[in-house]
Amino acid sequence: MTDSEIEITAELVRDLLEDQHPDLAGLPIREVAGGWGNQMWRLGDELAVRMPRTQGAPDLLRKECRWLPVLAPRLPLPVPTPVRIGEPSKRFPRPWSVMTWVRGEPLDGTPISRGDHAADTLAGFLRALHVEAPAEAPASSDRGAHPKKCTDGFEKFLQAIAPGGIPADIRAVRAVWDDAVAAPEWEGPPVWLHGDLHPANVVVSDGTLSGVVDFDAMFAGDPAWDLAAAWLLLPADAASRFFEVYAPADEATVRRARGLAALKSLFLILMGQNGEQGLPGGKPTWGPAGRAALDRVLTSNARWASPA
C-alpha cells in the first residue's frame, strides 16, 4: 500500500520546507497518527503538511488543491484548504501540500453525544456541498457507480470478514444490499461529493460534528454515496432527522444510500479486523465504528424519504 523506499521523517519535512517555503520552516513539526495514502504532520497550531506515500496519492492531492478552494467558501463546516504546494524534488519525488488544520478529534475515537445537533450539522453541510458540479469536475474510478455495479466488492468484503465478525444476521445484510441494487438509478445531474465520509474523515468537538477532512476522493455523481453517512457517522435514530433536514431525498436515493452504508460498514469492519491482526493498512479503531454503523443500518427504515 505504501512506498517503503521513501521514509518520511520530521527532518525530511523540515528540509523540504526550508528549500521551498522557508518562512514556514521554523514552525514546530509533529507527526499525526493515522492516514492512508498520505502521512500528515502538524505544522504549528494552524497548518498541516500532507505527504503522499502511495502511488496514486499525488494525483489525488493535486485534485484537492485544485477544487477545495472552489468548494470551501460555501461549506458551513471547516475543511482543510491548501496554503502552499510543494513541488517534487530529489529529496522527495512527489508533490506535497501545506493545508489548514481542522480542529477536533476523529469520530472513530470520540463519540457524538449531541445526536440531533450532529444530524442537523451533517445535513446542512451536505446540502451546501451537493450542488450541480461543472462539466470539468472530477469523476471517480472506484466510487460513484450504482450499487448493482458494486456487488463484487460487497461479496468480497462479506466473505473476507472472519466468522463472527458481523454482529448481525448475514441474511439481513444481504437484504439491505439487494434492496439497494433493486433501487432505480440516480436521474439528476452529477453533484459535488466528498466521496469518502466515514468516522476517520470527520472530526468532533463538544459532542457534535465540527469539521470534515480528507477530500482526496471528491468527485461528481450520485448523492447516495455521501448520504450513506447518515448511518456511518450519526448515532442510532438520528438518520431520520438527518433526512428530514437534508430534504429532498427520494426513496430510491435513500435505498441506495442505505445499501452503500452497509457496504462501507463491511469495509470498516474488515479494516478493523486487519488492524487487530497487525496486517498492513489495518485500522483497529475502524472495526467498532463499522460494527456500530452496520447495526444502525439494519435497525433503520429506508422508507422515510422526502418527496422529490
| Predicted pLDDT at 54 | 80
What are the Cα distances from residue 210, in Å, to 78, 110, 121, 200, 280? 7, 12, 8, 13, 30
pLDDT (tens digit per residue) in 254-276: 999 999 999 999 999 999 998 88
Largest separation between any pair of C-alpha atoms in the chain: 58
| Predicted pLDDT at 175 | 94
pTM: 0.92
| Predicted pLDDT at 302 | 54
| Predicted pLDDT at 58 | 84
| Predicted pLDDT at 162 | 67
Q: Which residues of the chain have pLDDT under 50?
A: 1-4, 305-308
| Predicted pLDDT at 56 | 78
| Predicted pLDDT at 1 | 41
- CA 84, 87, 88, 91: dihedral to nearest 10 degrees? -70
| Predicted pLDDT at 33 | 81
DSSP assignment of 36-58: SSEEEEEETTTEEEEEE-STTHH
| Predicted pLDDT at 282 | 84
pLDDT (tens digit per residue) in 45-64: 999 999 998 887 888 899 99
Show Cβ contacts of residue 174 under 8 Å, excluding neighbours closer than 6 positions: none
Show Cβ contacts of residue 99 under 8 Å, excluding neighbours closer than 6 positions: 47, 48, 49, 50, 80, 81, 82, 83
